[in-house]
């Protein structure tokens, strides 16, 4: 039995629903994180992990912090939480432990998704907050390995609550609704007219905002390939046939 996603006009329903239609075509290459996803694999990973979250007690509007450095990890974590009906807090991975603890406490984060390389910030922050569950991409003390989430039996995924349409909760307390995030995806993709023949090179990084999340969604919705890199390297642009690049300030530029 496959996990059942909720209907459209929520971020995961729109993005993963479109991804399902594209089969094994490449969707995301994360050069920094060493991850490669085709569209079908992205759907399978997200829905499987979301089932694991639900089986571990995840409920609608449960607040989950995403504390990672790479595009691939952020994409998996964000869409997994949204598919399970949660509210995502994107966190700046460069925050020192005491500031991270303050954000976790102020926003009442109860689950934190992080990576072993950030343990020196994440674990002290967790100890000073109300976080009760830590999930990590890889082995980390006092954490559940993200890969283990997919070992549970598939279950029906609740999706978001129509009465509480938030998708993201930013560190300053602002809520980004599913509709607003989808609008930002449409704005990014429409401005540059992203299409199935495009390859987008992104040097944006997880920073506590939502432009990178929207960019990945825009690429998936348009059928583009997104290549995430630490820097804008000419060899990378040549190797992948890049047609669109990211610029500071949330802008895209066609080559």
CATH number at residue 106: 3.40.50.980
Please provide the average confidence, as pLDDT, over all residues in the chain: 90
Query: Residue 83: inside a domain, yes or no?
Result: yes
What integer pLDDT is reported at residue 90 of this predicted model?
Answer: 98
Query: Residue 122: inside a domain, yes or no?
Result: yes
What integer pLDDT is reported at residue 10 of this predicted model?
Answer: 81
Residue 88: beta bridge partners?
64, 168
Mean pLDDT of 179-202: 94
How many Å apart are CA 212 and CA 200, to the nearest integer? 12
Query: Residue 187: inside a domain, yes or no?
Result: no
Question: Exposed/middle/buried for 188, CB within 10 Å: 0-12, 13-18, 19+?
Answer: buried
Query: Residue 38: inside a domain, yes or no?
Result: no
> What token pair was written down for 158?
């609740």
Query: Residue 200: inside a domain, yes or no?
Result: no
What integer pLDDT is reported at residue 93 of this predicted model?
Answer: 98
For residue 6, pLDDT over 60 is answered with no
Query: Residue 152: inside a domain, yes or no?
Result: yes
Looking at residue 21, what DSSP letter applies? T
> Out of 52-56, 92-96, 122-126, 148-152, which region has the weakest mean confidence (pLDDT)?
148-152
How many Å apart are CA 12 and CA 57, to the nearest integer? 20
Query: Residue 10: inside a domain, yes or no?
Result: no
134-151: pLDDT as tens digits: 999 999 998 999 999 987
Is 218:183 a contact under the CB 8 Å cutoff?
no
What integer pLDDT is reported at residue 226 of this predicted model?
Answer: 97
Query: Residue 191: inside a domain, yes or no?
Result: no
Whole-number Cα distances in Å, 91 to 57, 102, 113, 148, 187: 22, 12, 10, 23, 23
> What token pair was written down for 167?
């998708």
59-84: pLDDT as tens digits: 888 999 999 999 999 999 999 999 99
For residue 5, pLDDT over 70 is answered with no
* C-beta neighbour count of 17 within 10 angstroms: 16
Whole-number Cα distances in Å, 213 to 159, 163, 204: 18, 23, 10
How many Å apart are CA 186 and CA 172, to the nearest integer? 24
Look up the domain containing 167 and give its range.
Answer: 46-177
Is 28:36 a contact under the CB 8 Å cutoff?
yes
* C-beta neighbour count of 72 within 10 angstroms: 23
When divided into structural domains, the chain yields a total of 1
> What token pair was written down for 217?
């969604």
């Amino acid at each position: 039995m496959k996990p059942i996603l909720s209907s459209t006009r929520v971020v995961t329903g729109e993005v993963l629903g479109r991804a399902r239609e594209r089969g094994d075509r490449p969707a995301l290459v994360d050069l920094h994180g060493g991850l490669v996803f085709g569209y079908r694999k992205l759907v399978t990973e997200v829905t499987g992990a979301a089932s694991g979250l639900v089986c571990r007690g995840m409920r609608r509007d449960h607040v989950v912090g995403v504390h990672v450095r790479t595009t691939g990890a952020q994409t998996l974590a964000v869409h997994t939480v949204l598919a399970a009906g949660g509210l995502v807090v994107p966190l700046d991975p460069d925050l020192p432990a005491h500031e991270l603890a303050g954000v976790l406490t102020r926003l009442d984060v109860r689950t934190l998704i992080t990576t072993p390389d950030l343990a020196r910030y994440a674990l002290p922050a967790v100890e000073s907050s109300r976080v009760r569950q830590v999930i990590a991409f890889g082995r980390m003390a006092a954490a559940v390995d993200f890969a283990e989430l997919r070992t549970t039996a598939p279950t029906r995924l609740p999706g978001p609550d129509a009465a509480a349409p938030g998708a993201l909760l930013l560190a300053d307390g602002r809520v980004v609704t599913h509709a607003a995030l989808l609008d930002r995806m449409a704005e990014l993709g429409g401005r540059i007219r992203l299409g199935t023949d495009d390859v987008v090179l992104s040097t944006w990084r997880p920073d506590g905002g939502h432009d990178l999340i929207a960019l990945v969604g825009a690429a998936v919705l348009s059928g583009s390939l997104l290549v995430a890199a630490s820097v804008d390297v000419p060899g990378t642009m040549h190797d992948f046939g890049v047609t669109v690049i990211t610029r500071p300030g949330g802008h895209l530029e066609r080559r």
